[in-house]
Structure 1
Amino acid sequence: MSDVNIDASLIANGGANLSRTEEKMVEMTNGCICCTLREDLLVEVARLAAEKRFDYLLIESTGISEPLPVAETFTFADPNGEKRSLSDISRLDTMVTVVDACNFLQDYKDAESLHEKGESLGPEDHRTVTDLFIDQVEFADCIILNKMDLIADEPKKDILLMEIMTKLNPRAKIITATNGQVPLNEILNTGLFSFEEARAAPGWLKEIRGEHTPETEEYGISSMTFRVHRPFHPERFWNFLHNDWMHGIVRSKGTFWLATRMQTGGTWSQAGGQVHITCAGTWLAAMIPPSLDGEKISVLDGLGIPQKLIDQLDNNKYGDRRQELVYIGVHLDKEKINEGLTSCLVTDEEFEAGPDLWETFNDPFPS
């Protein structure tokens, strides 16, 4: 859903390897989406299986994707026998859906109002992102109710949530969690997924018949990236974050740079109404002594630093320091978001004055 793989940059230092495949434009010659648009999934899984280094593979699709087409992809076999099926090299074990316990009830109430109006099944039905959330819950083998700590002071809310989850999907295993902490044996090697039960789901095999509408079209979901090598004025950015800027935004995350913080960058993560801001770590440019400025490449050689970040050290006045924020939402007002974030940047005059002036700015962010 974005042109920046924020997750990869956040966890690269942990030794993980993320593979990001590009979207493919293909000619639909046989009406089959599984063997064309999702061919990349087969290629990636086959590559990992051939390495024989892993016991389990967790596929985390974007939060706005529908789970049913992913499951269908595992069942498809090339009628010409030229390509293997995913089922030949792997076993689909569990479909897991993570539910935001803090925000779901409000979304569910909105969904109820659609049904009461009789619009959800009508020919002129304009589905909302709430319908997508319900689809994800209904198709899951395991439902994780996350952020339970945020509703700890509302004892009736957790009971109501459990009742709603059970009503929507009586066969699913329900697990409560805080900060996504779940015992691995609850979601790995469970044997919970059943193709027989999945085939009973409405819309099964729509992919093979070519009837599935992309989520971006069906729900009006889109994304945008704000990327610039200029710092935020901390006070202006703080004030912006406390205004009504999140309308229509389902998810946002990324890295940001405050003019008063030349050493460290910040990590931004927002889901629903919750926003988390933490320290992302030290900028690469801040790690290189001025005396070695002409030897940047040799200094970073062998550290596993992505080449695109090394390139930024030479191509930008302040190296890899930057704003790189991704927004995903429903009917996004991209122009308004871009204008709002741009207004938070230091002005041309402030930028030319440099860090000596920036140090004097009021910075309301936590240390």
Structure 2
Amino acid sequence: MSSSAQAPTGAVTIDTDDRPSLTVLSGFWPATFAVARSLLAAEPSSLLVRHDITRIRDGLVRRTVSRGADIVEDEQIEVRHHDVFRILREDVVPTLVRLSRDRPDDDLVLVLPDVVEPEAVVAACTFCRVDGTPVTDLIRIDSCVTVVDAEHLLDGLASDDELSVLGIQAAADDHRTVADVVLRQIEYADTLVLWGESRNGTFDTDRLAVLLQRLAPWAAHVRLDSDRVDADRLHRQLRHTHRHRAEIHGVLNRGLQGYSLGVHEPEPDCGVVSAVFRARRPFHPQRLHDVLENVNAEVIRSRGHLWLASQPDSVVAWEFGGGGLAMGSLGHWLVSLPEDRWEHVDAQRSLAAAVDWDPYYGDRHQHLVFIGLGLDAVELHRTLAGCLLTDAELADGEDTWRTYHDPFTGCFPLDTELTQPTTQGAQPA
């Protein structure tokens, strides 16, 4: 078992926060619960909370709370809906709060159902109140840990199977694919555990480790031999790490807040390539539309944001995975807003925009990351650069750009307020 670098030997961390800490465990495969059991073995005083939703279509959800080898609670809950996200708000969060009040000296480990992304739980804890008290006043989210199974990872990342077709959707309007869930669980994590070995041997397992590093370079990475789990060491790697950063609002907003969206590693490492494309001038809408299929042909994941000459006020989100590209609105570029609206903008985003402000473009820019196996980073850059406005087109100015034929017309609506990402429904032709 190997891991990313740990704190220096002899370093002392003084924790003055007396709130119970919460570790959120997610993952699409059963290995997640195996990691949970190891954590419970190493720290028997922790409370392990799990909601079994396999019978939610029958109106039943089973909640269990374990402490060491003992079952503290085992309750079957009747529900009148089939919405897992409502269960987060109606039972998962209240259960965490109740346990934090009843057992303030016990920390919490929450094991999420397979199809739930950790960001949904963090959002529920951030915005929900219980008896008028914000949940984050009572519980400290220590880390979000995602467990990925080496044997199934590549299949999961490539799967365009919809959860609804598989009968495991989280809600009636849940149109996510398996790849959507796996990728978002990986990208939101601050700690990633690669469980087991690939069926194709050591080199392929090493390749998966590199791929995970490229998908989530901001996370701590742990490799775990499923046949030899050192529970105490795993506990030190995953618990009480203070890795969760509440100020970062999801992967699509990372770039706008000035954080890294990925690493530029154009030379293959075990066949894995990660290429970052950045530019100031806008894309021509038709030329970009014409290359959408080509630029993602060899890609496992691409993500980021961009701006189109024909829609110069809109930050356009870009998210590709599992065979499908989604584009949507991330709201306004700050340069398009009157100054009195800036006070309503996230402080980190305002700071990032100010640091990188251009006299002509303002905060507008392209920031895209492409990750794949055998990806030609040079050709990719050449293709995208060819979609940018030429010097002559740039000289025509915004009034002319807005008249360009735009295959994306109507895909990226702008509200009067800055919005959260809305990539689900904007599928370009």
- TM-score, normalisation: structure 1: 0.48
Structure number with higher helix proportion: 1
The structure in which a higher percent of residues are strand is 2
